[in-house]
């Protein structure tokens, strides 16, 4: 049986690669202090509660210019919408809700895909609580606070992903192969795999 695809989308620097690496259990994706240089890579086979899935960090090359950041975020969200079974929308609780978050949220909402809204950098749940509430305004349901770098809250996110995965016999192998081929083509034009 083919595996469902779970994609992580979000602005540069919210912690997508940190979260991905933690779930992948390896440091295949490059973590950057400043957006701009992340080049590699982005797939991991993982599982939770006995369900296997392919996890994708859509971050890729993260540009510095605001305009390019926005257009790339749109592209990444579109890619995730077209390919993924479940989309993890990662935000940064320390920044609060930004215009870019609102725009991505709108795209995701319209898509009718399964979305898990995650507020990263909630290093201290008590202290960050009020900021987390603000994320309900995105209209994507309950925000899940996590601290990817401190491995806090991850189990709840995985449980939510698990709940939103398609039923076991809905995936077919051929469709999965096509999806992965398209992602590779889109994300790795120079064969950086
Ligand atoms: N305080 C805090 N910093 C984090 C957390 N997760 C990631 N970071 C930091 O945020 C920065 C960007 O992380 P990265 O994973 O490269 O973000 P990406 O651009 O979304 O892939 C790095 O300096 C990380 O160490 C977290 O849970 N708490
Ligand atoms: Mg990254």
Ligand 1, atom 14: nearest CA belongs to which residue? 15
Q: Could you say which ligand is closest to the alpha carbon of residue 92?
A: 1
Ligand 1, atom 19: nearest CA belongs to which residue? 13
Q: What is the pLDDT of residues 160-183, one digit of tens each?
A: 999 999 988 655 556 666 666 666
Q: Residue 92: beta bridge partners?
A: 120
Residue 32 beta carbon below 6 angstroms from any ligand 1 atom: yes
**What distance in angstroms lies between residue 59's CA and the mean position of ligand 2's atoms?**
5
Q: What is the pLDDT of residues 61-90, one digit of tens each?
A: 666 677 787 888 888 888 889 989 999 999
The sign of the CA dihedral 136, 140, 142, 145 is negative
The closest-lying atom of ligand 1 relative to the alpha carbon of residue 20 is: 15
Compute the distance between CA of residue 59 and CA of residue 6 in angstroms, rounded to an integer: 14
Give the 3-state secondary structure of residue 59: coil
Cα 140 versus chain centre, distance = 14
Lowest mean pLDDT among 125-129, 136-140, 184-188: 184-188
Comparing 117 with 77, which gets the higher pLDDT? Answer: 117
**In the chain, what are the helix, strand and coil shares in percent, each to the nearest 5?**
45, 20, 35
The domain 5-187: what is its CATH number? 3.40.50.300
Question: Where are the chain's structural domains?
Answer: 5-187
Q: Could you say which ligand is closest to the alpha carbon of residue 18?
A: 1
pLDDT at residue number 69: 79
**What distance in angstroms lies between residue 13's CA and the mean position of ligand 1's atoms?**
6
**What distance in angstroms lies between residue 155's CA and the mean position of ligand 2's atoms?**
21
- In DSSP notation, 3-17 reads PPEEEEE--TTSSHH
Pair of tokens at residue 36: 């701009």
Q: What is the pLDDT of residues 37-70, one digit of tens each?
A: 444 457 788 889 999 999 988 876 666 677 787 8
Indicate the top mutation candidate among 7, 13, 15, 63 to test ligand 1's pocket, ranked by most ligand atoms within 8 A of CB.
15
């Amino acid at each position: 049986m083919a595996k469902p695809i779970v994609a992580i989308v979000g602005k540069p620097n919210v912690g997508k690669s940190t979260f991905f690496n933690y779930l992948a259990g390896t440091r295949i994706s490059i973590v950057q202090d400043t957006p701009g240089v992340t080049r590699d890579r982005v797939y991991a086979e993982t599982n939770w509660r006995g369900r296997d899935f392919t996890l994708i960090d859509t971050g890729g090359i993260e540009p510095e210019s605001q305009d390019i950041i926005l257009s790339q975020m749109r592209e990444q969200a579109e890619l995730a919408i077209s390919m993924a079974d479940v989309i993890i929308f990662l935000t940064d609780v320390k920044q609060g809700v930004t215009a870019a978050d609102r725009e991505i949220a709108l795209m995701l909402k319209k898509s009718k895909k399964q979305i898990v809204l995650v507020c990263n950098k909630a290093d201290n749940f008590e202290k960050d609580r009020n900021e987390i509430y603000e994320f309900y305004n995105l209209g994507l349901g309950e925000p899940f606070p996590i601290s990817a770098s401190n491995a806090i809250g991850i189990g709840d996110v995985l449980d939510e992903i698990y709940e939103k995965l398609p039923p076991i016999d809905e995936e077919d192998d051929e469709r999965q192969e096509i999806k992965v081929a398209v992602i590779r083509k889109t994300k790795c034009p120079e064969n950086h795999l």
